[in-house]
């Protein structure tokens, strides 16, 4: 099980005494590795009964060109500071540089956390 719970170990290496059992609110999830492809979103129930729409695949980008937003088609990932292997696998993350039909763009949104991807033109 993936957990967002506090570590059992202290900084010194000692153990914390367990004060309670696991809680449903402490569960974590596998990260969504958004890739280039035909648009596909996943709806997940989160804490409080709310829902999150996560982008699993996308091929478009809401691109800010300095004055307004335009839709751009994503061709490939050029650079990704999060992980160099994401370039090969065409995984989209915040901060990734992508090649679009309008030119190079930097992704400013978090694709795994929202239903659309937005970015800004890079010169």
CATH number reported for the structural domain that contains residue 82 in this entry: 3.10.290.70
> Do the domain assignments include residue 77?
yes
Q: What's the rounded Cα separation, in Å, for the pair 70 and 68? A: 7
* 42: confidence class by pLDDT, cuts 50, 70, 90: very high
87 lies in a domain?
yes
Percent above pLDDT 90 for the chain: 78
Encode pLDDT of 47-97 as tens digits.
Answer: 899 999 999 999 999 999 989 999 999 999 999 999 999 999 999 999 999
Residue 3 covered by a domain: no
In a domain, 58, yes or no: yes
Q: Note down the domain range covering 38.
A: 26-121
Pairing of strands 69-79, 97-100: antiparallel
Residue 90 lies in a domain: yes
**Mean pLDDT value of segment 97-120:** 94
Predicted model pTM: 0.82
Q: What is the band of 115 on the pLDDT scale with cuts at 50, 70, 90?
A: confident
Tokens of 1: 């099980």
14 falls within a domain = no
Q: How many domains does the chain have?
A: 1
Q: Which is nearest to 106 in space by CA: 87, 89, 122?
A: 122
Whole-angstrom distance, CA of residue 92 vs CA of residue 19: 40
């Amino acid at each position: 099980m993936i957990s967002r719970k506090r570590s059992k170990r202290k900084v010194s290496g000692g153990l914390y005494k367990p004060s309670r059992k696991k809680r449903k609110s402490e569960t974590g999830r596998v990260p969504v590795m958004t890739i280039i492809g035909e648009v596909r979103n996943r709806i997940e129930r989160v804490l409080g009964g709310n829902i999150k729409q996560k982008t699993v695949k996308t091929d478009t980008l809401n691109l800010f060109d300095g004055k307004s937003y335009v839709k751009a088609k994503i061709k490939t990932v050029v650079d990704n500071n999060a992980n160099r292997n994401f370039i090969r696998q065409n995984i989209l993350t915040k901060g990734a540089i992508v090649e679009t039909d309008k030119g190079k763009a930097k992704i400013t949104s978090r694709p795994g956390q929202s239903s659309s991807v937005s970015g800004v033109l890079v010169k």
